Structure 1
Amino acid sequence: MFPKHVRTHHRLHHGHKPEELDFLIRRESVSGGATSSQMQREFGRLNEEEKENLLKGVGLRPGIPSGAGLLLKANLALSWNKLRHLRRWLRNWNVSLDSESKDREKAKGMTSPLVAEQLPFTFTVKGPDGKLATEVRLASCVCLEDISSTVLQRLDLLEREGKLTWHGVIPSDEIWLKIGGDKGGGSTKAVFELCNVAHPNSIENTIVWNIFQAPDRRHNIETAYKINLSQINALCGTMWK
């Protein structure tokens, strides 16, 4: 005789074969009605290969929370191409990420408006006589439309997350902003970093505000930064709170 609480099994296991139903009834009896906990214990006793085969057998794909792909991309400084390779690799282990199209759609609502244009930059080339010469040609330049609003939004986010700090050095009524740049891979990038965080030089705190496909010459820098220079100067007198 099974305990009376088992008599509800016909509502829980409708559609099973007789031998399956008998097994499920016994599991419910052994567990005292706590079938989920019993199945967890049974699953926990399996080795890793058995667990993997079981999950594949029932077609279960462990999912990573929606939006996690963008976090991976940002925290690991991955390009879209590298994230694509990572997504394929995870799929081999039965782990799924959001599709790239979904990630790109989410990213649109998380990025600041951009300005993209072709500008006249200077390049060093070899002339007909074999001597080095300067050539002017159009090349791509992309920058933030408004650095000021991006910095203020960033400050609001850091404040909500409780990540702002003054390090015991920065005056309590000041926000310090570091402007820097880097040349590499055929492009020149300009970044800013807020100093009022625990790790100012971390990748997570480094925001690219301008990038152009040309050498980091004075003329090229002045040409590329013409949109943002006045905004950066205006930041010096901006009141945040």
Structure 2
Amino acid sequence: MKMAVGPTYSQQREIRRVLKGRGVKIAHEGAERKVVKELIGDDVTVTEMLFSSADDDLVEKQIMKPTNISEKLTKLLESKRESLTWHDGAIPENEVWVKVGGDHGQGSLKFSLAVVNTKNPNSKDNNILIGMANIKDSRENMEIFFLSCQKAVW
């Protein structure tokens, strides 16, 4: 409901109060923040960036991203060290491949890194979320995001 209606935080509190009076529980803001913290971690920054809109205007949007993406990727690789695979020679044995991507859904674009040298590279356990913003999915917006990451934290 929250995604479809897009209420403000004060409106969400009122909806939660009314629903609670009728015996319906709904996640509160703290629970939502906890999920974001679990997905991205403690080192999250919120920054303003200029992205492209559907009509080619530049729009300023807030985006959440970790402050140190290379550290997060290193930790992920360390945790996968014992289970790395080279897919029967498809990947050279002296290389580890990392897939950079974005996925739009439920009104936001999520940016991620995935270790390809794993049995199931698209599994949630082999991906790390490195950013999220309420923007359209476009090559230009992904380029803007990843160039900012390259300058800031790599």
TM range (shorter): 0.5 to 0.7
2:75 alignment partner in structure 1: 153
Aligned length: 121
The SS at the match of 2:88 is: coil
Q: 1:217 to 1:165 in 2, by over 3 A?
A: closer
Q: 1:218 to 1:200 in 2, by over 3 A?
A: closer
Alignment of 1:14-53 (within 5 A): none
- How far apart, CA to CA, are the structure 2 residues paired with 1:134 and 1:151? 33
1:185 alignment partner in structure 2: 106
Q: Which amino acid aligns with 2:128?
A: I
1:111 alignment partner in structure 2: 41
Alignment of 1:143-222 (within 5 A): 143-159=65-81, 162-169=82-89, 170-222=91-143
- How far apart, CA to CA, are the structure 1 residues paired with 2:43 and 2:141? 23
- How far apart, CA to CA, are the structure 2 residues paired with 1:218 and 1:180? 10
Gaps of 5+ in 1: 1-99, 125-132, 235-241
**C-alpha deviation, 1:230, in angstroms:** 4.8
- How far apart, CA to CA, are the structure 1 residues paired with 2:119 and 2:149? 27
Q: 1:223 to 1:141 in 2, by over 3 A?
A: same
Decide whether the 8 Å contact of 1:147 with 1:231 is kept in 2: no
Decide whether the 8 Å contact of 2:73 with 2:128 is kept in 1: no
State the TM-score, normalizing by the size of structure 2.
0.62
- How far apart, CA to CA, are the structure 2 residues paired with 1:225 and 1:195? 19
Tell me which of the two structures has the higher relative contact order, counting C-alpha pairs closer than 8 angstroms and 6 or more residues apart: 2
**Percentage of matched positions with identical amino acids:** 25
Alignment of 1:99-138 (within 5 A): 104=34, 111=41, 113-124=43-54, 135-138=57-60
State the TM-score, normalizing by the size of structure 1.
0.42
Gaps of 5+ in 2: 1-29
The SS at the match of 1:214 is: coil
Q: Which amino acid aligns with 1:118?
A: E
Decide whether the 8 Å contact of 1:147 with 1:209 is kept in 2: yes
Kindly indicate which of the two structures has a greater share of residues assigned to strand. Answer: 2
4+ aligned runs moved over 6 Å, structure 1: none
